[in-house]
Amino acid sequence: MSDPAASSSTATGSDLPENDTNGIQEPKAPDVEAPKPAKPRARLGPMEIVQLPGSDSEPEDDDDTAVNTEEEADEDLLRDFPDDAEDIHLQHSRLKSENLLPLNFPRFGKHLKRLCLRQNAIASPLPEGVFEGLEVLDELDLYDNRLGPVVEDEEVKGCPNLISLDFSFNNLRHPPTLPSQTRLKILYLVQNKINQVEAGQLDWCSSTLTSIELGGNRLRRIENLEVLTRLEELWLGKNKIRTLENLDAFSNLKILSIQSNRITKMEGLDGLVNLEELYLSHNGLKKIEGLEKNLKLRTLDIGNNMIEEIEGISHLTELEEFWANNNQIPNLRALDTQLAHISTLQTVYLEHNPCQTNDPGGYRRKIILALPQVQQVDATFVRQS
């Protein structure tokens, strides 16, 4: 679906196609506009113009956040919270690092499961002992603060049972190395300043991590992630990656999002035998290829590329969503051979191709006739007779 990280904690980042205005005019009830489909979860900012493959320009990032810190945080923010509170949300509370210790998080240690400190002005290093004794805490959210360039293990050692850790929208230049976190499954590092994952940096979570979000960074290669053999979700949207490589270790991977990069060839996907969702929109692809072993694919998003032909997908018999909008596909002849026999297919996006812009009156009708199983064409539901 041409994200979506990111999404909530959730994303990698592209715009939805516009609504189709070429529906069939019939005497019965008109087609119903479909709700906008869910996007990949990577939490990126608004979609930017994607540079053509080969461009190396890199805008300077502003280290400052939009958090207003002129007013001081109230140190009694938690005075009304009972000791057995399981959830604490202090989003946009003007908190700085020096405000954290007076909040006395350890008093919630036997019960606190989720702590949200989003959109504050918390900078590195975190105060020693700030999370001491939070032994049942499984979600720590520090999204949109001023952490970096590194986060040390000592800073989060007091909560050793984390399942989910969010450092998105900070100033990290390296993935954190946190050996005390022996149960971590989900790590969010969206929109930082990470330009490389070095060997050994993620060994500490190799046996537990199932999802990592690295969208919106400065990565140029997929490297040194192969230790994460339990990964089910890999989010790499909005980086500077040119090649699909070093993916063979991810036999458990179900979602790969690598939108808004500089990829020109679909390759290196043979080892992803359990892949269910593949997002490759906003790249420089010219051909659909390399999917021979990805028989479990349910969603394929190749929108906003330079593809000229629908091909190489006839064997994807579990496909449910096919997004190929905003390409260079001249006609719909391949629908009969590539998609017509796939009974699971529900959604097709082909708008903003020559096959639509050159035939605005007949485009939608031709798709419905060729693919009677489809329930949605572009952003509009197909009316069932």
pLDDT tens string, the chain, 385 residues long: the values are 544 333 333 333 333 333 333 333 333 334 545 555 445 544 444 333 344 444 444 444 444 444 444 455 555 899 999 999 999 999 999 999 999 999 999 999 999 999 999 999 999 999 999 999 999 999 999 999 999 999 999 999 999 999 999 999 999 999 999 999 999 999 999 999 999 999 999 999 999 999 999 999 999 999 999 999 999 999 999 999 999 999 999 999 999 999 999 999 999 999 999 999 999 999 999 999 999 999 999 999 999 999 999 999 999 999 999 999 999 999 999 999 999 999 999 999 999 999 999 999 999 999 999 999 999 999 999 987 6
| φ/ψ bin of 134: left (φ > 0), alpha (ψ from -120 to 50), beta (otherwise) | beta
Nearest to 239 by CA among 195, 278, 302, 279: 195
The CA–CA distances, whole Å, from 77 to 30, 74, 105, 196, 336 equal 53, 6, 11, 38, 63
As a whole number of angstroms, the distance between CA 99 and CA 130 comes to: 10
Asked if the structure places residue 127 within a domain, the reply is no
Rounded-to-5 percentages of helix, strand, coil across the chain = 10, 10, 80
Give a yes or no: residue 372 inside a domain.
yes
Q: Is the dihedral of CA 330, 333, 334, 339 positive or negative?
A: positive
Please identify which residue in the block is written with the tokens 């199932």: 210
Which helix (DSSP H) or strand (DSSP E) does residue 349 occupy?
Answer: strand 347-349
Query: Exposed, middle or buried: residue 195 (CB in 10 Å: 0-12, 13-18, 19+)?
Result: middle
Total domains in the chain come to 1
Domain that holds residue 349: 1-44+239-385
The confidence score (pLDDT) of residue 76 equals 81
Is 15 contained in some domain? Answer: yes
Q: Is there a domain that residue 286 lies in?
A: yes
Q: Is residue 183 part of a domain?
A: no
The residue type at 265:
K
**Pairing of the two strands 376-377 and 380-381:** antiparallel
Identify the DSSP state of 74: P
- Given the structure tokens 């199983």, which residue do they identify? 373
Q: Which two tokens stand for residue 162?
A: 């984390």
Domain membership flag for residue 79: no
Q: At which residue do the structure tokens 């290093």 appear?
A: 125
Does residue 350 lie within any of the structural domains?
yes
Closest CA to 157 of 122, 124, 190, 182: 182
Tokens of 231: 């990964």
Closest by CA position to 156, among listed 173, 168, 140, 143:
140
Non-local (6+) Cβ contacts of 126 within 8 A are: 97, 100, 147, 151, 155, 156
Kindly report the CATH number assigned to the domain that includes residue 30: 3.80.10.10
User: Residue 259 domain-assigned?
Assistant: yes
Burial of 25 (0-12, 13-18, 19+ CB in 10 A): exposed
Task: Judge contact between 222 and 249, C-beta under 8 A.
Answer: no
Rounded CA-CA distance 263/95 in Å is 40
Half-sphere exposure at residue 284, Cβ-oriented, CA atoms within 13 angstroms:
15
Round to whole Å and give the CA distance between 131 and 159: 6
The whole model's pTM is what?
Answer: 0.84
